[in-house]
Amino acid sequence: MAYRMILNETSYFGAGSIHHLIDEVKKRHFKKALVVTDKDLIQFNVATKVTNLLDEFGLSYDIFDEVIPNPTINIVKKGVEIFKQSGADYLIAIGGGSPQDTAKAIGIIINNPQHADVRSLEGAINTEKPAVPIIAIPTTAGTAAEVTINYVITDEENKRKFVCVDPHDIPVVAIIDSEMMASMPASLKAATGIDALTHAIEGFITKGAWELSDMMHLKAIEIINRALRASVKGDPKGVEDMALGQYVAGMGFSNVGLGLVHGMAHPLGAFYGTPHGVANAVLLPHIMEFNAESTGEKYRDIAKAMGLNDVLNQPIQEVRKHVVEAVKQLNKNVGIPERLRDIGVKEQDIHELAKAAFEDVCTGGNPREVNEKEIEMLYRHVY
Ligand SMILES: NC(=O)c1ccc[n+]([C@@H]2O[C@H](COP(=O)([O-])OP(=O)(O)OC[C@H]3O[C@@H](n4cnc5c(N)ncnc54)[C@H](O)[C@@H]3O)[C@@H](O)[C@H]2O)c1
Ligand SMILES: [Fe+2]
């Protein structure tokens, strides 16, 4: 059996690590950046931490700040035009998954213009050329888009969110500076943090998992479980640990895939604009329950990573219940709603949602085989 591992060329970690940006730009002889971000990050002086640094060192850049959560095909197309007009030769992505993913799509299309329609990038495709070099600076903890080979774009016309998997989109440099994340409101820390936990758990039990990815996912579960509550309360050490935990999860899942939680979360983003982390968080414990019987002894490893030492020697059926309960408790502690009805899902859409989830790229990685009818049942169960 042969396995593949793709990671960033260079990554920096820790509070204050953003200053490494300047050396990296100079060392690589980049001339001009297009900074891809969103308006809130400019307004809250998050993106400006980076542009101030560029100003200080006289490095040239333009800004594209029109990204919105669940970024659309039209936003990508606009970004491509702005990149062409700017004469930039590299991208700096500043933000959560939405600006990161938009920058990836822009970078890929600039060097592979036959995909200018954006839709043709869906799924696992091999583009001819690597994206324009991307320096990724995440501001949520999170999607780990800075280390993944994936990006997710919303097709508004067809009410779909589609995943693109392409090794050519991975940022060359990632700077994971928790000071860029500290300004997140508690609810955003909670939602993006449970997104990261979902990556770690789905990546650990997905069909393609193997020993090296297991190592990353178990460590990520441990860090996130330890740090998320503190991070949500505003503890800087908690935020710094979450920055690392989400990255470690990304190193894993990007290389092995995810599962049904993400498959069912994506349609919620497409139909209602549900924040990605919230959609995952509400679904996670229920899908874990559904998957339990197809995961062998793996929930015992998760229990260990979550510090559930008292239950480790119980029969696996019992351990599974405790693990699901611990995830529910974590959700509760950080303020995640319990039901899909609480986050704006409409019962009459469930049939259509199930169709879309069944077709999602992530669903194929789920450890338990699932059909459209079962997905519909699961949506109704969580509703
Ligand atoms: N590429 C991948 O591998 C991958 C993985 C998981 C999810 N995703 C995608 O990423 C997107 C979600 O990204 P996200 O959850 O990081 O959120 P986001 O990028 O959509 O941002 C959500 C909101 O948070 C705000 N925000 C971000 N950082 C902040 C900060 N430091 N302080 C204050 N406000 C801040 C933004 O301005 C925005 O309004 C979804 O489209 C999802 O499908 C991608
Ligand atoms: Fe995710």
CATH number at residue 163: 3.40.50.1970
Ligand 1 site residues (CB inside 6 A) read 38, 40-41, 44, 46, 69-70, 95-99, 101, 139-140, 142-143, 145, 148, 150-152, 181, 183-184, 188, 192, 195, 269, 276-277
- The reply to whether 126 and 202 lie within a common domain is no
Whether residue 241 sits in one domain with residue 376: yes
Q: List b or e across 216-229, with b for residues whose CB sees 16 or more CB atoms inside 10 angstroms.
A: bbbbbbbbbbbbbe
Asked if the structure places residue 16 within a domain, the reply is: yes
Q: Quick check: 126 pLDDT over 90? A: no
Residues 203 and 117 occupy one common structural domain: no
Q: In this structure, are 229 and 340 located in the same domain?
A: yes
Give residue 1's pLDDT band: very low, low, confident or very high (50, 70, 90): confident
pLDDT band at 94 (very low <50, low <70, confident <90, very high): very high
Query: Who surrounds ion ligand 2 at CB < 5 A?
Result: 195
Q: Using the mean position of ligand 2's atoms as its centre, give its distance from the Cα of residue 29 in Å.
A: 33
Looking from the CA of residue 40, the nearest atom of ligand 1 is 37
- The 10s digit of each residue's pLDDT in 225-234 is 999 999 999 9
3-state SS of the chain is CCCCCCCCCEEEECCCHHHHHHHHHHHCCCCEEEEECEHHHHHCCCHHHHHHHHHHCCCEEEEECECCCCCEHHHHHHHHHHHHHHCCCEEEEEECHHHHHHHHHHHHHHHCHHHCCCHHHCEECCCCCCCCCEEEEECCCCCCCCCCCEEEEEECCCCEEEEEECHHHCCCEEEECHHHCCCCCHHHHHHHHHHHHHHHHHHHHCCCCCHHHHHHHHHHHHHHHHHHHHHHHCCHHHHHHHHHHHHHHHHHHHHHCCCHHHHHHHHHHHHHCCCHHHHHHHHHHHHHHHHHHHCCCHHHHHHHHCCCHHHCCCCHHHHHHHHHHHHHHHHHHCCCCCCHHHHCCCHHHHHHHHHHHHHCHHHHHCCCCCCHHHHHHHHHHHC
Q: Which residues contact 64 (CB under 8 A, 6 or more apart)?
A: 34, 35, 36, 37, 78, 79, 82, 83
Confidence (pLDDT) at 10: 98
* Contact yes or no for 94/41 (Cβ under 8 A): yes
Please tell me the total count of domains within the chain: 2
Residue 190 is assigned to a structural domain of this protein = yes
Q: Does 78 lie in the same domain as 104?
A: yes
Does 5 map to a domain?
A: no
Please report whether residue 120 resides in a domain. Answer: yes
- State phi, psi for 268 to the nearest 5 degrees: -65, -35
Establish if 4 belongs to a structural domain.
no
Tens digit of pLDDT for each residue in 268-286?
Answer: 999 999 999 999 999 999 9
CATH number at residue 362: 1.20.1090.10
Q: Supply the residue whose CA is at minimum distance from atom 7 of ligand 1.
A: 143
> Of 159, 180, 201, at which residue does a domain stop?
180
Block residue for tokens 């092995």: 256
176 and 310 share one domain: no
Span 367-382, average pLDDT? 98
Residues 112 and 202 in one domain: no
The residue to mutate among 48, 49, 101, having the most atoms of ligand 1 within 8 angstroms of its beta carbon, is: 101
- Residue closest by Cα to atom 43 of ligand 1: 152
Closest ligand 1 atom to the C-alpha of 101? 1
Q: Give 283-299 pLDDT, tens digit per residue.
A: 999 999 999 999 999 99
Sign of CA dihedral 342, 348, 350, 353: negative
Share of the chain above pLDDT 70, in %: 100
Name the residue range of residue 318's domain.
186-382
For all residues of the chain together, what is the average pLDDT?
Answer: 97
Among the candidates 139, 157, 180, a domain finishes at 180
8 Å CB contact between 115 and 108: yes
Cβ burial of 137 (10 Å; 0-12, 13-18, 19+) is buried
How many other CB atoms are found less than 10 A from the CB of residue 153? 24
Does residue 337 form part of some domain? Answer: yes
Looking at the chain, how many residues does it have? 383
Q: In this structure, are residues 246 and 224 in contact, taking their beta carbons and an 8 Å threshold?
A: yes
Name the amino acid, one letter, at 346.
K
Identify whether residues 205 and 170 lie together within a single domain.
no
Quick one: 21 and 84 in the same domain?
Answer: yes
Query: 205-220 pLDDT, tens per residue?
Result: 999 999 999 999 999 9
Output the residue whose Cα is nearest ligand 1's atom 23: 69
- Please check whether residues 145 and 207 belong to one and the same domain: no
pLDDT at residue 31 above 90? Answer: yes
**Residue 249, Cα to own-chain centre: how many angstroms?**
9
Q: Locate the ligand 1 atom nearest the alpha carbon of residue 104 and give its number.
A: 1
CA of 67 to the centre of ligand 1 (A): 10
Pick the last residue of a domain from 132, 152, 180.
Answer: 180
Minimal CA–CA distance to 137: which of 14, 18, 16? 18
| 1: in domain | no
Same domain, 54 and 109: yes
Q: Is residue 3 part of a domain?
A: no
Is residue 293 domain-shared with residue 216, that is, in the same domain?
A: yes
